[in-house]
Amino acid sequence: MTEVKLFSGTQSHKLAENIAKLYGKDLGKLTISKFSDGELSPSFDESVRGCTVFLIQSTMPSADNIMELCLMIDAAKRASAYKVVAVVPYYGYARQDRKDKPRVSIAAKLVANMITSAGADRIITCDLHAGQIQGFFDIPLDHLNGSAIFVPYLKNLGLKDLIFAAPDVGGVGRARSYAKHFEVEMVVCDKHRKRANEVASMQVIGDVEGKDVVLVDDLIDTAGTMCKAAQIIMEKGAKSVRAVVTHGVLSGKAYENIENSVLEELVVTDTIPLRQESSKIKVLTVADLFAKTIHAVTGNTSISSLFI
């Protein structure tokens, strides 16, 4: 057994502190300096020689967060760490996972190459936008599922007429897994986009009349799709509608959209820190899920018990 040390990047510090506390260790000492022009320079303030090092950093935009993670990995390898594990609660650029039109980048693959080339020996992440992104890595990847956080919460709500909904066709598999677990029905919101972040039209496939509807997705950005789906579902006669989403990107007018929507609540996790508070947004932590996963990785035990 090698010594285990946990370090945090700039944007995930609070989550990293909670993970370290639940794991049973203090966060390691790391300084991330910036040159006048914004160039990053991380340095470890303690020895990591021969250690298994866990670097906790979500890679949401800006690109500084990805660069910071890669520099941390490189610094750890050059400081003779035994193993370097990138803990990436939110894997940014995952929406660009294929060529959906000519002459575009497959950014999710590029980011995977960057993390691997920097020297990571393993990656731990949660609710990738598309499961096949796991195949972009040639190193072991532990893909955690937000259902471990949301299912207990939904059970505690005690909704009598529960039904699940996918806000778009791409989320059908995710919504179906929840519906199967709760042994209830599901519906689908079929949307058409004119351009990114702008929904042109939407319709609900399935019956939601008199139901307590829970929309399920992996991330929410401007909240346009989610709010429009909620509106249409209520117009179809639903009793209530709420959403559970792992990654609260929440950019642009997202907070305004959510406050003005018919959503009873939006439940997200702390993989991405919120930019502001909202009466409709509830945050659940993934710290315990990641702490248990780190225990399993360091102890060479299965993580399948963490899945619902």
As annotated, the active-site residues are 191
CB-CB neighbours of 222 under 10 Å: 20
**CB contact at 8 A, 2 and 82:** yes
Sort strands 240-248 and 266-269 into parallel, antiparallel or unpaired: parallel
Could you say which DSSP state residue 306 is in?
A: G
Rounded Cα–Cα distance for residues 246 and 90 (Å): 9
Rounded Cα–Cα distance for residues 64 and 305 (Å): 34
Sort strands 186-195 and 198-205 into parallel, antiparallel or unpaired: antiparallel
Across the chain, the runs of DSSP E, i.e. the strands, are 4-8, 30-34, 40-44, 52-56, 83-88, 122-126, 141-144, 162-166, 186-195, 198-205, 212-220, 240-248, 266-269, 281-284
Tell me the H-state helices in the chain.
Answer: 13-23, 64-78, 107-118, 147-157, 172-182, 224-235, 254-259, 287-298
**CB contact at 8 A, 169 and 199:** no
